[in-house]
Protein backbone atom coordinates (compact mmCIF):
# COMPACT_ATOMS: atom_id res chain seq x y z
CA UNK A 1 0.00 0.00 0.00
CA UNK A 2 1.61 3.21 -1.20
CA UNK A 3 1.91 6.50 0.66
CA UNK A 4 -0.34 8.92 -1.18
CA UNK A 5 0.53 12.27 -2.77
CA UNK A 6 -1.22 15.37 -1.46
CA UNK A 7 -3.73 15.98 -4.24
CA UNK A 8 -7.53 16.13 -4.13
CA UNK A 9 -7.98 12.51 -5.19
CA UNK A 10 -9.80 11.00 -8.13
CA UNK A 11 -13.30 9.58 -7.77
CA UNK A 12 -13.62 5.83 -8.32
CA UNK A 13 -16.02 4.86 -11.14
CA UNK A 14 -18.66 2.77 -9.33
CA UNK A 15 -21.20 1.69 -11.93
CA UNK A 16 -20.75 -1.35 -14.15
CA UNK A 17 -21.52 0.71 -17.27
CA UNK A 18 -19.11 3.51 -16.38
CA UNK A 19 -16.33 0.99 -15.75
CA UNK A 20 -17.11 -0.87 -18.99
CA UNK A 21 -16.96 2.38 -20.93
CA UNK A 22 -13.60 3.14 -19.31
CA UNK A 23 -12.27 -0.24 -20.47
CA UNK A 24 -13.74 0.40 -23.91
CA UNK A 25 -11.95 3.72 -24.07
CA UNK A 26 -8.64 2.06 -23.19
CA UNK A 27 -9.10 -0.67 -25.80
CA UNK A 28 -10.25 1.68 -28.57
CA UNK A 29 -7.39 4.06 -27.84
CA UNK A 30 -4.87 1.23 -28.09
CA UNK A 31 -6.50 -0.10 -31.27
CA UNK A 32 -6.39 3.34 -32.88
CA UNK A 33 -2.73 3.73 -31.94
CA UNK A 34 -1.93 0.29 -33.40
CA UNK A 35 -3.72 1.09 -36.65
CA UNK A 36 -1.96 4.43 -37.05
CA UNK A 37 1.41 2.91 -36.21
CA UNK A 38 0.85 0.05 -38.64
CA UNK A 39 0.06 2.45 -41.49
CA UNK A 40 3.20 4.47 -40.74
CA UNK A 41 5.30 1.30 -40.72
CA UNK A 42 3.83 0.11 -44.02
CA UNK A 43 4.39 3.54 -45.56
CA UNK A 44 8.07 3.25 -44.66
CA UNK A 45 8.29 -0.05 -46.53
CA UNK A 46 8.57 -2.25 -43.42
CA UNK A 47 6.41 -5.07 -42.12
CA UNK A 48 4.51 -4.09 -38.93
CA UNK A 49 5.30 -6.00 -35.71
CA UNK A 50 1.97 -6.21 -33.90
CA UNK A 51 3.56 -6.84 -30.51
CA UNK A 52 5.72 -3.72 -30.78
CA UNK A 53 2.78 -1.66 -32.04
CA UNK A 54 0.65 -2.77 -29.09
CA UNK A 55 3.21 -1.83 -26.45
CA UNK A 56 4.41 1.61 -27.51
CA UNK A 57 5.20 4.33 -24.94
CA UNK A 58 1.88 5.99 -25.79
CA UNK A 59 -0.06 2.82 -25.14
CA UNK A 60 1.96 2.28 -21.97
CA UNK A 61 0.69 5.60 -20.61
CA UNK A 62 -2.86 4.91 -21.87
CA UNK A 63 -3.07 1.52 -20.15
CA UNK A 64 -1.40 2.60 -16.91
CA UNK A 65 -3.51 5.76 -16.54
CA UNK A 66 -6.73 3.95 -17.38
CA UNK A 67 -6.32 1.05 -14.98
CA UNK A 68 -4.98 3.26 -12.19
CA UNK A 69 -8.09 5.44 -12.50
CA UNK A 70 -10.36 2.37 -12.27
CA UNK A 71 -8.50 0.86 -9.29
CA UNK A 72 -10.05 -2.27 -7.83
CA UNK A 73 -9.63 -5.58 -9.64
CA UNK A 74 -8.33 -3.84 -12.76
CA UNK A 75 -5.37 -2.34 -10.91
CA UNK A 76 -4.89 -5.31 -8.56
CA UNK A 77 -4.70 -7.84 -11.39
CA UNK A 78 -2.18 -5.67 -13.17
CA UNK A 79 -0.08 -5.63 -10.02
CA UNK A 80 -0.42 -9.42 -9.66
CA UNK A 81 0.73 -10.08 -13.20
CA UNK A 82 3.71 -7.75 -12.81
CA UNK A 83 5.16 -9.67 -9.84
CA UNK A 84 7.08 -12.47 -11.55
CA UNK A 85 4.21 -14.90 -12.08
CA UNK A 86 6.01 -16.79 -14.86
CA UNK A 87 3.10 -16.17 -17.23
CA UNK A 88 5.47 -15.16 -19.99
CA UNK A 89 4.35 -11.59 -20.58
CA UNK A 90 6.39 -9.39 -22.90
CA UNK A 91 9.00 -7.18 -21.25
CA UNK A 92 7.17 -4.00 -22.25
CA UNK A 93 3.90 -5.17 -20.70
CA UNK A 94 5.65 -6.24 -17.50
CA UNK A 95 7.07 -2.70 -17.28
CA UNK A 96 3.59 -1.22 -17.74
CA UNK A 97 2.09 -3.43 -15.06
CA UNK A 98 5.00 -2.78 -12.71
CA UNK A 99 4.30 0.95 -12.81
CA UNK A 100 0.85 0.28 -11.37
CA UNK A 101 2.39 -0.86 -8.08
CA UNK A 102 3.39 2.76 -7.48
CA UNK A 103 0.36 4.51 -8.96
CA UNK A 104 -2.47 4.03 -6.47
CA UNK A 105 -4.74 7.06 -6.15
CA UNK A 106 -7.11 7.93 -3.33
CA UNK A 107 -10.75 8.91 -3.58
CA UNK A 108 -11.77 12.49 -2.71
CA UNK A 109 -13.17 13.32 0.76
CA UNK A 110 -16.75 13.67 -0.51
CA UNK A 111 -16.78 10.12 -1.86
CA UNK A 112 -15.14 8.88 1.35
CA UNK A 113 -17.92 10.43 3.46
CA UNK A 114 -20.55 8.75 1.29
CA UNK A 115 -18.91 5.36 1.85
CA UNK A 116 -18.59 5.81 5.62
CA UNK A 117 -22.14 7.15 5.95
CA UNK A 118 -23.32 3.90 4.37
CA UNK A 119 -21.09 1.70 6.56
CA UNK A 120 -21.27 3.48 9.94
CA UNK A 121 -24.35 5.66 9.59
CA UNK A 122 -24.54 9.45 9.54
CA UNK A 123 -22.86 11.14 12.48
CA UNK A 124 -20.02 8.60 12.54
CA UNK A 125 -17.47 11.39 12.97
CA UNK A 126 -18.67 11.84 16.55
CA UNK A 127 -17.28 8.40 17.44
CA UNK A 128 -13.76 9.81 17.11
CA UNK A 129 -11.74 12.53 18.75
CA UNK A 130 -9.95 12.92 15.41
CA UNK A 131 -10.40 11.39 11.96
CA UNK A 132 -8.05 12.42 9.15
CA UNK A 133 -10.15 12.55 5.98
CA UNK A 134 -7.02 12.49 3.84
CA UNK A 135 -5.55 8.98 3.75
CA UNK A 136 -1.92 8.32 4.63
CA UNK A 137 -1.81 5.31 2.26
CA UNK A 138 -3.72 4.11 -0.79
CA UNK A 139 -3.74 0.88 -2.79
CA UNK A 140 -5.75 -0.93 -5.44
CA UNK A 141 -8.77 -1.89 -3.31
CA UNK A 142 -8.82 0.65 -0.49
CA UNK A 143 -7.14 3.52 1.33
CA UNK A 144 -6.08 3.98 4.95
CA UNK A 145 -6.89 6.82 7.34
CA UNK A 146 -5.53 7.66 10.76
CA UNK A 147 -8.00 8.23 13.59
CA UNK A 148 -8.09 8.63 17.36
CA UNK A 149 -10.87 7.43 19.65
CA UNK A 150 -12.13 9.48 22.58
CA UNK A 151 -10.19 7.25 24.97
CA UNK A 152 -6.92 7.97 23.16
CA UNK A 153 -6.51 4.84 21.00
CA UNK A 154 -4.69 5.47 17.72
CA UNK A 155 -6.31 3.58 14.84
CA UNK A 156 -5.60 2.87 11.19
CA UNK A 157 -8.91 2.66 9.28
CA UNK A 158 -8.87 0.93 5.90
CA UNK A 159 -11.81 1.96 3.71
CA UNK A 160 -12.67 0.06 0.55
CA UNK A 161 -13.37 1.95 -2.65
CA UNK A 162 -17.09 1.92 -3.55
CA UNK A 163 -18.34 -0.58 -6.11
CA UNK A 164 -15.12 -2.62 -6.06
CA UNK A 165 -16.59 -5.95 -4.93
CA UNK A 166 -19.41 -5.79 -7.47
CA UNK A 167 -17.00 -5.03 -10.32
CA UNK A 168 -14.42 -7.80 -9.72
CA UNK A 169 -15.69 -10.40 -12.18
CA UNK A 170 -16.36 -7.97 -15.02
CA UNK A 171 -13.04 -6.14 -14.43
CA UNK A 172 -11.05 -9.39 -14.57
CA UNK A 173 -12.91 -10.45 -17.73
CA UNK A 174 -12.13 -7.09 -19.33
CA UNK A 175 -8.45 -7.33 -18.34
CA UNK A 176 -8.44 -10.83 -19.86
CA UNK A 177 -9.81 -9.37 -23.09
CA UNK A 178 -7.00 -6.79 -23.16
CA UNK A 179 -4.40 -9.52 -22.57
CA UNK A 180 -5.86 -11.56 -25.43
CA UNK A 181 -5.37 -8.75 -27.92
CA UNK A 182 -3.01 -10.04 -30.65
CA UNK A 183 0.66 -9.69 -29.80
CA UNK A 184 0.33 -9.47 -26.01
CA UNK A 185 0.58 -13.11 -24.85
CA UNK A 186 1.18 -16.34 -26.82
CA UNK A 187 -1.86 -17.09 -28.97
CA UNK A 188 -2.63 -20.52 -27.49
CA UNK A 189 -1.89 -19.67 -23.85
CA UNK A 190 -4.86 -20.56 -21.66
CA UNK A 191 -5.29 -17.69 -19.20
CA UNK A 192 -8.68 -18.91 -17.92
CA UNK A 193 -7.37 -20.77 -14.82
CA UNK A 194 -5.25 -17.77 -13.77
CA UNK A 195 -8.09 -15.30 -14.32
CA UNK A 196 -10.55 -17.52 -12.42
CA UNK A 197 -8.14 -17.81 -9.49
CA UNK A 198 -7.59 -14.04 -9.64
CA UNK A 199 -11.37 -13.56 -9.28
CA UNK A 200 -11.45 -15.90 -6.30
CA UNK A 201 -8.55 -14.18 -4.57
CA UNK A 202 -9.83 -10.68 -5.30
CA UNK A 203 -13.26 -11.52 -3.85
CA UNK A 204 -11.45 -12.77 -0.75
CA UNK A 205 -9.31 -9.61 -0.54
CA UNK A 206 -12.38 -7.40 -0.89
CA UNK A 207 -14.04 -9.12 2.09
CA UNK A 208 -12.72 -7.09 5.02
CA UNK A 209 -14.51 -9.32 7.54
CA UNK A 210 -12.46 -12.23 6.17
CA UNK A 211 -9.29 -10.13 6.32
CA UNK A 212 -10.07 -9.28 9.94
CA UNK A 213 -10.15 -13.03 10.62
CA UNK A 214 -6.77 -13.51 8.93
CA UNK A 215 -5.33 -10.59 10.90
CA UNK A 216 -6.51 -12.17 14.16
CA UNK A 217 -5.24 -15.62 13.13
CA UNK A 218 -1.74 -14.43 12.25
CA UNK A 219 -1.70 -12.33 15.39
CA UNK A 220 -2.34 -15.52 17.36
CA UNK A 221 0.22 -17.56 15.39
CA UNK A 222 2.92 -14.95 16.00
CA UNK A 223 1.91 -13.99 19.52
CA UNK A 224 4.94 -13.36 21.72
CA UNK A 225 7.29 -12.96 18.75
CA UNK A 226 10.33 -10.80 19.44
CA UNK A 227 10.77 -10.03 15.74
CA UNK A 228 7.23 -9.58 14.31
CA UNK A 229 4.44 -7.20 15.34
CA UNK A 230 0.87 -7.34 14.04
CA UNK A 231 -1.72 -4.61 14.69
CA UNK A 232 -4.56 -5.39 17.08
CA UNK A 233 -8.05 -5.57 15.59
CA UNK A 234 -10.88 -3.20 16.60
CA UNK A 235 -13.97 -5.19 15.70
CA UNK A 236 -16.49 -2.55 16.72
CA UNK A 237 -15.49 -0.43 13.71
CA UNK A 238 -15.17 -3.31 11.21
CA UNK A 239 -17.67 -3.94 8.40
CA UNK A 240 -17.37 -5.77 5.06
CA UNK A 241 -15.93 -2.53 3.61
CA UNK A 242 -14.09 -1.06 6.60
CA UNK A 243 -11.21 -2.62 8.55
CA UNK A 244 -10.09 -0.97 11.79
CA UNK A 245 -6.83 -1.84 13.49
CA UNK A 246 -4.20 -0.44 15.78
CA UNK A 247 -2.00 2.28 14.29
CA UNK A 248 1.65 1.33 14.68
CA UNK A 249 4.47 3.81 14.18
CA UNK A 250 6.98 2.39 11.70
CA UNK A 251 9.23 3.25 8.80
CA UNK A 252 9.59 1.61 5.36
CA UNK A 253 11.57 -1.62 5.38
CA UNK A 254 13.80 -0.10 2.70
CA UNK A 255 15.08 2.36 5.31
CA UNK A 256 17.19 -0.51 6.65
CA UNK A 257 19.44 -0.23 3.60
CA UNK A 258 21.83 1.86 5.73
CA UNK A 259 21.58 -0.35 8.82
CA UNK A 260 24.38 -2.67 9.92
CA UNK A 261 24.99 -5.89 7.98
CA UNK A 262 23.98 -7.94 11.01
CA UNK A 263 20.66 -6.11 11.38
CA UNK A 264 19.82 -6.43 7.70
CA UNK A 265 20.68 -10.13 7.80
CA UNK A 266 18.59 -10.64 10.94
CA UNK A 267 15.50 -9.05 9.42
CA UNK A 268 15.78 -10.85 6.08
CA UNK A 269 16.43 -14.21 7.74
CA UNK A 270 13.30 -13.75 9.85
CA UNK A 271 11.16 -12.85 6.83
CA UNK A 272 12.43 -15.79 4.77
CA UNK A 273 11.86 -18.12 7.72
CA UNK A 274 8.32 -16.72 8.01
CA UNK A 275 7.64 -17.69 4.38
CA UNK A 276 8.82 -21.23 5.14
CA UNK A 277 6.65 -21.39 8.26
CA UNK A 278 3.64 -20.14 6.30
CA UNK A 279 4.19 -22.82 3.65
CA UNK A 280 5.16 -25.78 5.82
CA UNK A 281 3.71 -25.08 9.29
CA UNK A 282 0.90 -22.52 9.29
CA UNK A 283 -0.92 -23.86 6.22
CA UNK A 284 -1.67 -20.27 5.22
CA UNK A 285 0.42 -17.67 3.41
CA UNK A 286 0.06 -13.95 2.92
CA UNK A 287 0.87 -13.96 -0.82
CA UNK A 288 1.22 -10.24 -1.56
CA UNK A 289 4.98 -9.50 -1.69
CA UNK A 290 4.61 -5.72 -1.90
CA UNK A 291 7.34 -4.29 0.33
CA UNK A 292 4.89 -1.67 1.59
CA UNK A 293 3.22 -4.51 3.55
CA UNK A 294 6.40 -4.90 5.63
CA UNK A 295 7.53 -2.03 7.83
CA UNK A 296 10.12 -1.60 10.58
CA UNK A 297 9.78 -0.28 14.11
CA UNK A 298 13.16 1.27 15.01
CA UNK A 299 12.16 1.51 18.67
CA UNK A 300 12.15 -2.26 19.24
CA UNK A 301 13.68 -3.65 16.04
CA UNK A 302 10.53 -5.55 15.05
CA UNK A 303 8.97 -5.96 11.59
CA UNK A 304 5.38 -4.71 11.41
CA UNK A 305 3.27 -6.99 9.20
CA UNK A 306 0.37 -5.32 7.38
CA UNK A 307 -2.37 -6.28 4.91
CA UNK A 308 -3.72 -9.82 5.30
CA UNK A 309 -6.21 -9.66 2.46
CA UNK A 310 -4.23 -11.93 0.14
CA UNK A 311 -3.99 -14.92 2.50
CA UNK A 312 -4.04 -18.26 0.68
CA UNK A 313 -4.71 -21.59 2.35
CA UNK A 314 -2.09 -24.28 1.66
CA UNK A 315 -3.28 -27.87 1.96
CA UNK A 316 -1.07 -30.48 3.65
CA UNK A 317 -0.82 -32.28 0.31
CA UNK A 318 0.44 -29.15 -1.49
CA UNK A 319 2.90 -28.43 1.32
CA UNK A 320 4.19 -32.02 1.03
CA UNK A 321 4.65 -31.57 -2.72
CA UNK A 322 6.79 -28.49 -2.13
CA UNK A 323 8.78 -30.25 0.58
CA UNK A 324 9.56 -33.01 -1.86
CA UNK A 325 10.46 -30.51 -4.56
CA UNK A 326 12.78 -28.62 -2.22
CA UNK A 327 14.54 -31.81 -1.12
CA UNK A 328 15.08 -33.30 -4.58
CA UNK A 329 16.20 -29.91 -5.91
CA UNK A 330 18.81 -29.73 -3.14
CA UNK A 331 19.92 -33.34 -3.21
CA UNK A 332 18.30 -35.30 -6.05
CA UNK A 333 18.94 -35.93 -9.68
CA UNK A 334 17.49 -34.01 -12.60
CA UNK A 335 14.91 -36.72 -13.27
CA UNK A 336 13.66 -36.50 -9.69
CA UNK A 337 13.33 -32.73 -9.94
CA UNK A 338 11.47 -33.14 -13.23
CA UNK A 339 8.94 -35.49 -11.63
CA UNK A 340 8.44 -33.20 -8.65
CA UNK A 341 7.90 -30.18 -10.93
CA UNK A 342 5.46 -32.16 -13.06
CA UNK A 343 3.47 -33.12 -9.96
CA UNK A 344 3.14 -29.48 -8.88
CA UNK A 345 2.22 -28.35 -12.40
CA UNK A 346 5.13 -26.28 -13.70
CA UNK A 347 4.48 -28.13 -16.95
CA UNK A 348 2.24 -31.01 -18.02
CA UNK A 349 2.36 -34.01 -20.32
CA UNK A 350 1.44 -31.84 -23.32
CA UNK A 351 4.23 -29.31 -22.80
CA UNK A 352 6.84 -29.48 -25.56
CA UNK A 353 10.14 -31.09 -24.54
CA UNK A 354 12.20 -27.97 -25.24
CA UNK A 355 9.85 -25.90 -23.07
CA UNK A 356 10.22 -28.40 -20.23
CA UNK A 357 14.00 -28.10 -20.56
CA UNK A 358 13.80 -24.29 -20.42
CA UNK A 359 11.47 -24.26 -17.41
CA UNK A 360 13.55 -26.79 -15.49
CA UNK A 361 16.75 -24.89 -16.28
CA UNK A 362 15.17 -21.72 -14.90
CA UNK A 363 14.10 -23.55 -11.75
CA UNK A 364 17.59 -25.04 -11.37
CA UNK A 365 19.09 -21.56 -11.59
CA UNK A 366 16.60 -20.18 -9.05
CA UNK A 367 17.70 -22.85 -6.56
CA UNK A 368 21.37 -21.75 -6.67
CA UNK A 369 21.19 -19.76 -3.40
CA UNK A 370 19.72 -22.78 -1.63
CA UNK A 371 22.12 -25.40 -2.96
CA UNK A 372 25.35 -23.80 -1.81
CA UNK A 373 26.51 -24.75 1.67
CA UNK A 374 27.97 -21.39 2.60
CA UNK A 375 26.65 -17.86 2.74
CA UNK A 376 24.87 -16.46 -0.32
CA UNK A 377 25.54 -12.79 -1.04
CA UNK A 378 22.36 -11.38 -2.59
CA UNK A 379 24.00 -8.07 -3.51
CA UNK A 380 26.91 -9.65 -5.37
CA UNK A 381 24.78 -12.10 -7.36
CA UNK A 382 23.51 -11.54 -10.89
CA UNK A 383 20.86 -14.24 -10.42
CA UNK A 384 17.92 -11.86 -10.74
CA UNK A 385 19.17 -10.63 -14.11
CA UNK A 386 19.77 -14.19 -15.33
CA UNK A 387 16.33 -15.34 -14.20
CA UNK A 388 14.77 -12.34 -15.90
CA UNK A 389 16.53 -13.15 -19.17
CA UNK A 390 15.53 -16.80 -18.95
CA UNK A 391 11.93 -15.82 -18.20
CA UNK A 392 11.83 -13.49 -21.19
CA UNK A 393 13.23 -16.23 -23.42
CA UNK A 394 10.44 -18.55 -22.28
CA UNK A 395 7.84 -15.80 -22.67
CA UNK A 396 8.97 -15.13 -26.24
CA UNK A 397 8.12 -18.71 -27.19
CA UNK A 398 4.89 -17.91 -28.98
CA UNK A 399 3.78 -21.57 -28.98
CA UNK A 400 3.98 -21.89 -25.18
CA UNK A 401 0.45 -22.61 -23.96
CA UNK A 402 0.78 -24.05 -20.45
CA UNK A 403 0.30 -21.84 -17.39
CA UNK A 404 1.21 -23.30 -13.96
CA UNK A 405 -1.60 -23.51 -11.37
CA UNK A 406 -2.59 -20.10 -10.10
CA UNK A 407 -1.94 -21.10 -6.48
CA UNK A 408 1.66 -21.92 -7.42
CA UNK A 409 2.07 -18.63 -9.26
CA UNK A 410 0.87 -16.61 -6.27
CA UNK A 411 3.24 -18.51 -4.02
CA UNK A 412 6.05 -17.66 -6.45
CA UNK A 413 5.11 -14.00 -6.20
CA UNK A 414 5.76 -14.16 -2.46
CA UNK A 415 9.06 -16.02 -2.82
CA UNK A 416 10.20 -13.70 -5.60
CA UNK A 417 9.26 -10.68 -3.51
CA UNK A 418 11.39 -11.94 -0.62
CA UNK A 419 14.36 -12.39 -2.97
CA UNK A 420 13.94 -8.83 -4.23
CA UNK A 421 13.78 -7.58 -0.65
CA UNK A 422 16.95 -9.48 0.31
CA UNK A 423 18.76 -8.11 -2.75
CA UNK A 424 17.64 -4.54 -1.98
CA UNK A 425 18.94 -4.85 1.59
CA UNK A 426 22.21 -6.49 0.41
CA UNK A 427 21.68 -9.51 2.64
CA UNK A 428 24.22 -12.29 3.21
CA UNK A 429 22.63 -15.54 4.42
CA UNK A 430 23.18 -19.29 4.49
CA UNK A 431 19.85 -20.39 3.03
CA UNK A 432 20.34 -24.14 2.68
CA UNK A 433 20.14 -24.91 6.45
CA UNK A 434 16.99 -22.79 6.69
CA UNK A 435 15.22 -24.81 3.98
CA UNK A 436 16.55 -28.18 5.12
CA UNK A 437 15.09 -27.57 8.59
CA UNK A 438 11.61 -27.67 7.05
CA UNK A 439 12.31 -30.76 4.93
CA UNK A 440 12.98 -33.03 7.91
CA UNK A 441 9.43 -34.40 8.04
CA UNK A 442 9.77 -36.02 4.61
CA UNK A 443 13.50 -36.21 4.13
CA UNK A 444 13.81 -39.93 4.85
CA UNK A 445 10.91 -40.92 2.61
CA UNK A 446 12.19 -38.80 -0.28
CA UNK A 447 15.77 -40.01 0.16
CA UNK A 448 14.53 -43.64 0.17
CA UNK A 449 12.60 -42.97 -3.02
CA UNK A 450 15.73 -41.61 -4.70
CA UNK A 451 17.78 -44.57 -3.50
CA UNK A 452 15.21 -47.08 -4.79
CA UNK A 453 14.89 -45.46 -8.22
> What is the rounded distance in angstroms from the CA atom of residue 408 to the CA atom of residue 330?
19
Q: How many CB atoms lie within 10 A of CB 294?
A: 24
Question: Of 288, 307, 321, 336, which residue is the catalytic one?
Answer: 288
Is the distance from CB of 79 to CB of 55 less than 8 angstroms? no
Positive or negative: CA dihedral 107, 119, 124, 295: negative
> What is the rounded distance in angstroms from the CA atom of residue 84 to the CA atom of residue 361?
16
Instruction: Give which of 106, 442, 422 is closest to 267, Cα–Cα.
Output: 422
Is there a catalytic annotation at residue 288? Answer: yes
- Alpha carbon dihedral 188, 193, 195, 198, in 10-degree steps, equals -150
Largest separation between any pair of C-alpha atoms in the chain: 74
Residues 6+ apart with CB under 8 A from 302: 225, 226, 227, 228, 229, 296
Q: CA angle, corner 290, sides to 288 and 295, nearest 5?
A: 110
Under DSSP, the state recorded for 127 is: G
Is the distance from CB of 172 to CB of 381 less than 8 angstroms? no
Enumerate long-range contacts of 198-204, CB under 8 Å, 24 or more apart: 198/73, 198/77, 198/80, 198/172, 198/406, 199/73, 199/168, 199/169, 199/172, 201/287, 201/310, 201/312, 201/410, 202/73, 202/76, 202/77, 202/141, 202/168, 202/172, 203/165, 203/168, 204/309, 204/310, 204/311
Residues marked as catalytic: 288
Amino acid sequence: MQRYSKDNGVAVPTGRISRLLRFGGIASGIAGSVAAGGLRTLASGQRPDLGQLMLTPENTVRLTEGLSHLRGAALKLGQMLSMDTCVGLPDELTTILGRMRDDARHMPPKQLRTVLDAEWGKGWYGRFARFDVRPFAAASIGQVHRAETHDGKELAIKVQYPGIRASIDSDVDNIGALLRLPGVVPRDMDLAPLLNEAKRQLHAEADYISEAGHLARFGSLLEGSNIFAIPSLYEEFCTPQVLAMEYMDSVPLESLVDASQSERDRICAALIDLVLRELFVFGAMQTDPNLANYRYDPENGRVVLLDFGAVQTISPERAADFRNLAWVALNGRGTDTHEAMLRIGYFDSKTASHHKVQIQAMFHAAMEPLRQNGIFDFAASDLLERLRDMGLAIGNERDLSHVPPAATLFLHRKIGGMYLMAAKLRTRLALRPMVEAYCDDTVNAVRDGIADA
